[in-house]
Amino acid sequence: MNTTLIFLQQYWWFIISLLGGLLVFLLFVQGGQSLLFSFGKNEQEQRMLLNLTGRKWEFTFTTLVTFGGAFFASFPLFYSTSFGGAYWVWMLILLSFILQAVSYEFQSHKGNVLGNKVYRCFLVFNGFAAPILLGTAIGTFFNGASFVVDKGAILSASMPVISYWTTPWHGLEAVANPWNVALGLAVFFLARILGTLYFLQSVSEPSIMERCRRSLLPSTLLFLLFFLAFVVHILFATGLAVDPTNGTIYPEAYKYLHNLMALPAVALTFVVGVLCVLTGIIRTLISSTYIRGIWWTGIGTVLTVLALFLIAGYNHTAYYPSVVDMQSSLTISNSSSSLFTLKVMAWVSLIIPFVLGYIIYAWRSIDTTRMNADELKNEGHY
């Protein structure tokens, strides 16, 4: 097989994994939204919180769109199979993000038909639904989904669809697997931790800061419970491996554990990531003045999720296993774009550091002051 193609497939899986990591980190916006009514006990406090997450929601939204676009461009068979099959999961995720996108602006205006409270409830809904559903969907990367891919179907004029779902639930059946749900809940509680840490850094209102500190420990314990359960499960799980010489897919006991051992850099990334996540949380818990935990935990989140994606796809692993037809399972080699397209996209990806650069610059330029009543009065948009 063409070594350049193999390299580019690995490269693009890395980019997808990195975008996945950044997306989960940016779910701090959703985590913060889910805490809107818990941390904001009056109108002023809620508006402070809304103006804080409201400055960042578009980054999360855009990262989700880019994650989807990059997946489409680099691994179109996944896009075709998962989106067209797990219809209801993606539609629910979509619905929650549509509601989020309009709610920030609409909740701050009179005449919005539904009332401010309803739009704020939409934000809370997105705060719960997006991390849980996205986490559950990512869980299927390890636990599999009910689909069949048959490229020969394109030859049939009456039913030319090459991939289809085998259950009428169209993706909702993922919640029947407790390990998918465990990852969904782990992502949800991680998003709440990140949201809490973001508020701690960005707000100077004592009442909100106190609520942030109080809620951190329970969220951490619940996150650890679900995250560790999921990690232990996948380390002992049987994964699907692919024979690189002929593309045949076969089950392999302890596949993900083997991947970690075979890929020491990924294993190190995973360990460093988890340690960073815990460092941010622990330093915040033990010091009543420490407010920079978001950076430790945020960077740790990116590294941990990056490593999880990498062990799902690297080392000849089926990253999207089919539970009904093993040979339909998707690997980074059988689902990728062509060499030409991956090359074009690789050139485009060189611009990503520049994009990250201006995002960081712009982010810092509007985060110079911590939120309080005066700041809200002077700079509040929502």
118-177 positions binding another protein, by CB under 8 A: 151-152, 154-155, 157-166, 168, 170
Angle between helix 293-313 and 178-202 (nearest 10): 150
- Residue 157 CB neighbour total at 10 angstroms: 6
CA distance 189 to 29: 12
With contact defined as beta carbons under 8 Å apart, do 136 and 180 qualify? yes
Q: Does 368 bind another protein (CB under 8 A)?
A: yes
Query: Both tokens of residue 202?
Result: 């960005």
User: 224-238 burial by CB neighbour count: b if 16+ within 10 A, else e?
Assistant: bebbeebbebbeeee
Position among 121, 282, 352, 373 found at the interface with another protein (CB under 8 A): 352
Number of residues that bind another protein (CB under 8 A): 83
- 29, 64, 194, 310: which one contacts another protein (CB under 8 A)? 64
Least Å from the CB of residue 204 to another protein: 16
Task: By CB under 8 A, tell whether 56 contacts another protein.
Answer: yes
Taking CB under 8 A as the binding criterion, the range among 250-258, 281-289, 298-306, 357-365 that sits at the site for another protein is 357-365
CA distance 340 to 4: 10
* Segment interacting with another protein, rule: CB under 8 A, options 174-182, 258-266, 277-285, 347-355: 347-355
Q: Using CA atoms, how far apart are residues 110 and 121, in angstroms rounded to an integer?
A: 16
Instruction: Kindly state whether residue 112 participates in binding another protein, applying the rule CB under 8 A.
Output: yes
Q: Residue 248 CB, nearest distance to another protein (Å)?
A: 14
Q: Tokens representing 373?
A: 């009543």
Asked if 110 touches another protein (CB under 8 A), the answer is yes
Q: Which of residues 321-340 bind another protein (CB under 8 A)?
A: 337-338, 340
- Given a contact cutoff of 8 angstroms between Cβ atoms, the answer to whether 100 and 52 are in contact is no
Phi and psi at residue 167, in whole multiples of 5°? -115, 150
Of 70-99, binders to another protein (CB under 8 A) are: 70, 72-74, 76-77, 79-85, 87-88, 90-91, 94-95, 97-98
User: Is residue 101 part of the contact set for another protein (CB under 8 A)?
Assistant: yes
